[in-house]
Every structure is written in C-alpha cells, then in structure tokens.
Amino acid sequence: MEKVLSAEATRVLGVLIEKELSTPDYYPMTLNSLVNGCNQKSNRHPVVEYGEFDVRDYLDELQRYRLVGHASVAGSRSEKFRHATAQHFGLEVPDLALLASLMLRGPQTVGELRTHTTRMAAFDSIEEVSSRLDGLMAREEPLVMSLGRMPGQKGERFAHLLCGEVAMDDVMASGSVQQPAARSSIAEELEEIRSRLSSLEEAFEQFKKQFE
C-alpha cells in the first residue's frame, strides 16, 4: 500500500466506517463519540484507552491522507467528522464492511467476517465474502492479505494492509481470540445502546445551550 497508517489512526477510521454503516442516524461523529467508539471493551482487538487529545492527533493523521474531513450538520454546533474511505480507494459498501471489521477486530476467517459484518452489510453466502476478499487482495495496491491457516485455527485468516505488511510473528504473539457469535451479537447490541445514549446526551446538551 502506498499509504501506511498508524494502528491508532486505523482504529479511528474503522470506527467511523462502522458507525456510518451500522447506525447512520448517529453519523457523522463528534469527537466524544469517536473516543467512546475507539475505547469499546467488546468487539475490539486490541482494547485501547484513547483520550480526546489522542484521537485528535489520529484524526490529523487521517486528514493528511484525505481519508477524514470535517462535516457540516444542520442544527448542530458540535464539531463532527466523516470519512472518505470509499471515495479514496474506490470501494463499495461490502468492501468497507470487511475492512472495518478487520480494522476493529484484527485477523479473521471468512466465516467470522460474515458474522461480524451483519450490521454493516448483507452477505448472502460465504462465497460472496470470499469473492470480496479476493477483490481486495487483487488490487494494484492490495488492501487485504491472507495469513493462511494458523495452528489451532479451522480456516484461513485475513488481515488488512492499511498499517503495512502484517508480520506473522506479531499475529502469533497477539493471541487474537474472537468471541462466540452469540455473545458477540449481544455485546454489539449493548454497545449500540450505549452509543445512542451518548449521542442523545450530546444532542440534549446542545439543545440546552440554545436557552442559556
């Protein structure tokens, strides 16, 4: 890939993509919502603890590559951000969903990717996911690579290349373990509720300021 992003900036970009595809009513995102999205304790690997100043730095990095920009939202006084990943790389929604999942959860099998992207895009079959991954790997500048089948794993795993080539030693050392599908689904629903509550709190604060 021509542009190599930091892992931190990639986490921010993944959150923006996830929010746009899964809960578009709460997109574009405020800085506070981005911080909360990055620091989720479930459906993220690794778990991180970013502060507002950290996320601003990562947004600056993404803006330098023209992957993120400010968004003007009618009736909102809060600073908001949107991504331009689809336009920048020429991607469709299914491709964005797969990339976002890899950016937020780490390497995954085709089956895991299909499960983890259900709220972002609809894949009719495992074969459709495989076909999309093949397309992302066959680009002149690939965005995804195959890691093959690792010891103890049932299937071939895939990783994104936004942070550069993936070292197998790093993957082995990371010990990335995915949650069972049922637990993952419940955790996703809880995180969505938390995200919506956070957005409602921000909207209420903005509403109160109109009368101060």
What local confidence, expressed as pLDDT, does residue 72 receive?
78
Q: How far apart are CA 186 and CA 211, in angstroms?
A: 39
Q: Which two tokens stand for residue 120?
A: 């972002």
What local confidence, expressed as pLDDT, does residue 181 receive?
46
Q: Where are the domains positioned within the chain? A: 7-171
Helices assigned H by DSSP within 23-92: 31-38, 52-64, 85-89
Instruction: Write the pLDDT tens digit of every residue in 66-99.
Output: 999 999 776 667 899 999 999 999 999 999 999 9
7-171, what's its fold?
Arc Repressor Mutant, subunit A (1.10.10)
Neighbours of 131 (CB within 10 A): 12
What local confidence, expressed as pLDDT, does residue 210 receive?
59
What local confidence, expressed as pLDDT, does residue 180 receive?
45
Q: Whole-prediction pTM value?
A: 0.81
What local confidence, expressed as pLDDT, does residue 1 receive?
56
What local confidence, expressed as pLDDT, does residue 156 receive?
93
Contacts of residue 83, Cβ cutoff 8 Å, sequence gap at least 6: 13, 16, 17, 20, 62, 67, 68
What local confidence, expressed as pLDDT, does residue 177 receive?
44
What local confidence, expressed as pLDDT, does residue 179 receive?
46
Among 195, 100, 95, which Cα is nearest to 138's? 95
Contacts of residue 148, Cβ cutoff 8 Å, sequence gap at least 6: 156, 157
What local confidence, expressed as pLDDT, does residue 130 receive?
97
What local confidence, expressed as pLDDT, does residue 178 receive?
47
Q: How far apart are CA 75 and CA 21, in angstroms?
A: 22
Flag residues of the chain having pLDDT under 70: 1-2, 74-76, 152-153, 168-196, 198-212
What local confidence, expressed as pLDDT, does residue 188 receive?
57
C-beta separation of 55 from 3 below 8 A: no
Instruction: Work out the angle at residue 166's Cα, subtended by the Cα atoms of residues 45 and 170, and round it to the nearest 5 degrees.
Output: 65
What local confidence, expressed as pLDDT, does residue 105 receive?
97
What local confidence, expressed as pLDDT, does residue 190 receive?
65
